Amino acid sequence: MIIRAALSVGLLLLSSLPPSLAVKRGDFKTCDQSGFCRRNRGLSTRASEHSTEWRSPYFVQTVDSSSGTWKGEVKNALFPEVKYELEIRVLRDGTVRVLLDEKDGLKQRYNETSRWALVEEPLLMLEGGVQFGEKENESKIWFGRHSMVRVQHNPLKVEFFRDGQPHVVLNEGGLFNMEHFRVKSQNAAEEVEEKEEQEEGTGEGVGVKVKGFVNQNEEKEKVVLQKPQKINVPGSVDYPHFLPEDENGMWEESFGGKTDSKPKGPESLSMDITFLGYEHVYGIPEHASPLSLRTTKGGDNAYTDPYRLFNLDVFEYEADSEMALYGAVPFMKAHRPSSTVGVLWLNGAETWVDIEKGETGKAVKDSWKAGKFKHGGPEDRTTKTHWMSESGILDLFVFLGPSNEDIFTSYARLTGTTALPQYFAIGHHQCRWNYLSQEDVLEVSRKFDEFDIPMDVIWLDIEYAEEHKYFVWNKRSFPDPEKMQEGLAERGRKLVAIVDPHIKKTNDLYVYTEAQQHDVLVKDKDGKEFQGWCWTGDSAWVDYFNPKSFDWWASLFKFDKFKGSTKNLFIWNDMNEPSVFNGPEITFPRDVVHHGGWENRDVHNINGMVYHNLTSQALIQREDTPKRPFVLSRSFFAGSQRYGAIWTGDNMGYWSHLAHAPAMILANSIAGINFIGADVGGFFGDPSPELLVRWYQMGAFHPFFRAHAHIDTKRREPYLFDEPIRSHIRDAVRLRYSLLPTWYSAFFEANNLGFPIARPQYVVFPDDKDGFAVDDQYFIGSSGLLVKPVTQEGATETSVYLAGVDPYYNYFTNDIFYGPGRIDFPAPLDTVPLFQRGGSILSRRDTIRRSAPLMWKDPLTLVVAIDRDNSSARGQFYMDDGESYNNEQGQFVWRHFNFGPDTDNKSNLLFHNTDGGGIPGTSRSLQKGVAVYDPDYNNEYAKAMRVVTVDTIEVLGLPSKPKCLKLSGRDQPVHFEYLDGFSSYAGPKKSGVGRRASKLIIKDLKASISEEWRIEFVMYGEACQVPPALPDRQTALQSPLCPPNHFRCANTGHIPACILTSRVDDGLCDPECCDGSDERDGKVSCPNRCQEVGAEHRKKLEEENRKFRVGGKVRGDYIKFGQKEKETLQGTIDALQASLSTLEVKEKKAKAELDRLEAESASESKRKMESKLYKRLQEHQTAIATLRQQKADLETDLAELSSILNDLSRDFNPNYQDMAVLGATRAFTEWKESRAAQSGEEGIEIEGDEDEDSNDATKFSDDDLDAIEKEDLLELIDSLSPSSETPKPAPGEPSGLMATIDGWKTSVFNILELAGVISQDESSSSPDTSERPEVAKARKRHSDAQAELEKAKREIEDKKKEVEKNFGREWEFKKLDGTCLEKDTGEYTYDVCLFQEAHQKSNKGHGSTSLGKFSSWSTGGESPSSDEYYMKQVYSKGARCWNGPERSVKIDLVCGTQNALLSVVEPNKCEYLYKVSTPAVCWPRADAEETRQKEEL
């Protein structure tokens, strides 16, 4: 019974474990499980079902427009005593703000969202710009040139007109509903006792009770259940079906075992917003769904639930889903040809949005036909949306466009533009949960350099912090963080460390104690400090809405407070939805309380943005001279773009997630979240090499470019892959770096004007209906670059949509393509489809450095792609110092490039580099800088940039070769080359793969980027003498003594070195060039350190040689020992071989005698064995054997289950955010302890059944059962025959004595056999005492001879296997066989007994785990005859990790004078790397002089 019970518990526990790689939808609400959404969506359903009699009860009672804004008192006919105030404000730029709040209500609705989301309170349109008119049942508000708002009084409806046409309508469907505050009725709810019922077979939880935690799928034993109350309101007969049938969910509701107390009762808000004549709507991120939002009520491929806006930590989220994710921006745009409108629903509470599409009404189409504006007419389809928020006021902004740019600008004026980041931040970021140590971080940086892969930032996840106590370094792994950051800075790199919002609740953490002292922690509904569970274990959360937290939080980032931080350290804010592992829906309970008494339900979606804001401000304040911060956040809201970068959260390394990434990036971008990216490679899983290449090719075109991976994934830094995968990834990264000037200019445009960086087709081509739903390709700013990532496995070509009439040039080959329409484009694995649109000019740098800031002085290349008319192209370039706020004072370089006909000479063409200053844009911070910008006056940065030149210009699509090129200010013509090809107006018939455009290449231009100049293209007349080209930089630096692309440092006094040419003149003193010859342009002065470096090198070399000499002597002793052992084994084998023939003859003789005697007694035995009794006894023995095997199987299952749960208990961390798993581990621990208490010893004891009915039953031991199973059946049969009654000889008689002795011998042999000391053949394992004595004796003689022979054979085989073991070429490793070494790392002690097994032992008493047994030497393909082969060992098939592979160890052996385990790391989950020193690998080596000479060579 105990065995069965234990197995049942174990299986139940295992059933609660999270399914692999799939979101747990049951952890998150659907609309039907959310009371307010269910009520308000039900409103929509009832409106559809009763459309003919449906009428909104809300109406305008009084109107006042005397204050310059329109105000109306609104009432609800169902509750006439409740009053609302509706206010309509026209803002200065033509945006309309609609505010509606309960007036003189029982409580104040939350009304502070705008305080956090908006830059400032928006300015109203100037007096005289707005006019009001009233007539029966309606008010009108005119503003601008052709805009109007019409308010219908009863029933309430608000319409927005532009150009005489209605575009947006509020409450057209009568779904507006603001649940007023009310007094809870006496019988609204009752408290009841309810017994929990065990949930079985669902796979979603098993109701395991754990002290302090409740399973997400478990109800508390005592809960407050809703008692639905029938709602009966006077007047409801006039508005049938408007009210819900009962109060279910209004005053309290439960989900996942958590109860929301709802102390304020119902307070939700609902409004339908109709976009008349608009089929496509976009925005409301964040969702993993298409850019053009799908319907949620009817239609093809419709979602069944509304889009949800509620910031959540959705573990392993689905691709293609309406589920809420990490951020919420309640901004929606509607677009049709020549017209764009939008709305911002400024509400920080949970919000659901239904989308429905239907036919556009005839009246709408007629109003357009009757108007004087004949462009931008309504489409045949209209989109109806229904917005539902849990609390708060109505604060709605309506944008009337008409263009995308108009709306982007207006939206940016409200919520702010994207903060201009530091230059390094737009480079390549390398992240992993987690880099293991200081050495690991610096080694990763070194490896990126070794393989020439640019990278700007290395990231540290939560393991850098001691016990996940942010701000406190783990000194074991990061003993000197300042030195680590200095090491990165020496290579031009930065470090980012994570700081999450949860704080470990422990008095030895100063952050927690200070937060208590300042009283800035979030409170629960009872006013006590809220406590939840996250990475730190028991945690508290700072209330960032509390003004007292502002300065205190900033102080934590001061260098003297955040010990180990430097100005080179930047911050990552994760888990800030916030994520609370044991909270409802893995977040805050809605009734926790923030500053001002507001509940989390009111401010939930704003919380992450406020945290992001305060961290950004903290980095600004930590230095006396502020620098731009870099802070990455996972959670966001409208306005988050002002504070830093965002990423799309914990995606997966699947093709489906790769395919949905572009749409997510675009949806965020059009909602202002520009600095956005997805985790390259996918956070979860191990992508195939092909998939990883495609991820990098896409990620290189995300505004935020970061590779990141989960702790359970295999290491996937690009340099770890074989060719050609490594080169494909490197090419993608280097492409990003070459285009950094274009990217930074796009960021400037987003910062200055609010335009998106990643731009969808409908934004660039607003009249092209075929592109309105395209979301798998996009443009980069206004650069003209179009990228189409490849997202299908195995694809070698892809379909690209080309809009407009201008040509598109393949970025890499200059092949020319034309639209409009789709083309099939070749896309093998080394290709990312990238095009430059005709009419654009982009900038790039062809010298690729190891990090972005090192490239600022390198020359520029401009690429001019001529439009179809063969007449023009334009572009821009922006650059500043990349870190300070001096750009806000006009300290930057901003240039405009124009190419087109020369106005002075129409037959010639002209390229013109002009000043880019002009009218200030949307950004408040940049307005002054743009206004005062002057490239020549009081602009120190522009002066410094004069040394930066445009060296090369490429012009694509010229109709013919120019006769001469002349640069203004120079007498000598400009050198150029011309490659003939198709012109820009060749047309579709002359375009396609292999149809290359003409290409003109201007070289050696060396024209300053910060000064104005012109190049005249003389197209006719006499050709001028073109000067010869100068050697390019690469050729000038290449040394014939080095590999390609390498420069040679002579390093006199030390050893010459070859470094990449990209390291020359990069502003860093390369350590490999101790003579300083790598820096020649004056950026930095590098001293000659070769004498001291050479001396230090020789000292280290001598020490290394000494170590090899001493270790070599010990190795010689090991060789002697091994040879002696091998000789001894061989001698034993030879002796045993010699005795085999004698033993074989002896065995054959005994067998022959036994065969003779057995033949004589065979007939009698056969008769007995054919009896019924014999067969029945056989069945009983078989039954016993079967039952014993079942028992053994149960014991094995229980042992295996115990091992699994032991591993789970030891290895589990809250990473999986699944409290059922935590419950399983704790329940198992309690069960194991109770079993140990019952048995009186540690561990789990397996017992037999103990039913009451069997208390008096005979107990059979394993030996008893074994004896019964093996009992001789013939003897039992003989015992029933008459002869069996014959008295047996007495023990003292000779025959009796022999029988007794034989019995003793038989018993001894049986015991030895059971103990595994000897083995007997099945035929002789149970002596047949019924056979004749002479047969028994013969059988015994044969058995003995056979056993002796088998023993000799086994000994020979064992000795041969020992000799055949690979203990090295000279058996020098035999001495190490069984040598045990160990290393204490703090939490664990690791050991290895060489050639046997490795272990991980918990220092907290949690037992020991096998990491694997010795399986082989090196698996890297080295030859067994090489030294390298014997410098690596592999131990495999260790205990399986929780949710991971079997553990294994790779051991790197290094020369040392002693055997020692030097270090242990876990580069991949459950794959350990040991470094062991031993004299056994101190191979003979050349003397120091030979070594030095070889190094020089």
Query: Which residues carry out catalysis?
Result: 574, 577, 650
Q: Phi, psi (5° rounding) for residue 855?
A: -100, 0
Tokens representing 1359? 């000795």
The C-alpha atoms of residue 823 and residue 806 are separated, in whole angstroms, by 15
List CB contacts of 554: < 8 A, sequence separation 6 or more. 614, 617, 618, 621, 622
Instruction: Classify 917 in phi/psi space as left (phi over 0), alpha (psi -120 to 50) or beta.
Output: beta
Grouping H, G, I as helix, E, B as strand and the rest as coil, residue 1194 is helix
CA pair distance 467, 490, nearest whole angstrom: 30
Query: CA separation (Å) from 696 to 692, 718, 1078?
Result: 6, 10, 31
Give dist(CA 148, CA 75) in Å, integer.
24
296 near 354, Cβ under 8 Å?
yes
Q: Which of 294, 271, 290, 287 is nearest to 356 (CA)?
A: 294
Phi, psi of 723 (to 5 degrees): -75, 150
Helical H runs in 79-156? 113-117
Residue spans of beta strands (DSSP E) within 157-260? 157-162, 165-170, 177-178, 189-193, 222-226, 253-255, 258-260
> Quick one: tokens of 908?
């010639």
Are 186 and 229 spatial neighbours (Cβ–Cβ below 8 Å)?
no
Letter string b/e over residues 534-556, b meaning 16 or more CB atoms within 10 A of that residue's CB: bbbeebbbbbbbbeebbebbbeb
Please check whether residue 420 is in contact with residue 645, taking contact to mean a CB–CB distance below 8 angstroms: no
701: DSSP letter? T
* DSSP label of 646: E
Place of tokens 């609800």: 76
Separation in Å, CA 796 to CA 663, 695, 732, 825, 1212? 22, 15, 17, 9, 42
Q: How do strand 428-430 and strand 457-460 relate by DSSP bridges?
A: parallel
Distance of CA 795 to the CA centre of its chain: 24
Cα–Cα–Cα angle for 232, 235, 138, rounded to 5 degrees: 135
Contacts of 956 by beta carbon, 8 Å cutoff, 6+ apart: 809, 814, 816, 836, 863, 864, 865, 866, 984, 997, 998, 999
Question: 924-932 and 740-753 helices cross at what angle (nearest 10)?
Answer: 110
936 phi, psi to nearest 5 deg:
-110, -25
The count of C-alpha atoms lying within 13 angstroms of the C-alpha of 1069, restricted to the half-sphere facing its C-beta, is: 11
Question: How many other CB atoms are there within 10 angstroms of residue 22's CB atom?
Answer: 12
Question: Residue 302 in contact with residue 295, Cβ under 8 Å?
Answer: yes
Q: Which helix (H) or strand (E) holds 1069?
A: none
| Helices 600-621 + 548-555 axis angle, to 10 | 40
* Residue 334 token pair: 């509607």
Reported for 1424-1432, long-range contacts at CB under 8 A and 24+ positions apart, including other chains, are: 1424/1366, 1425/1369, 1427/1481, 1427/1483, 1430/1368, 1430/1369, 1430/1373, 1430/1480, 1430/1481, 1431/1481
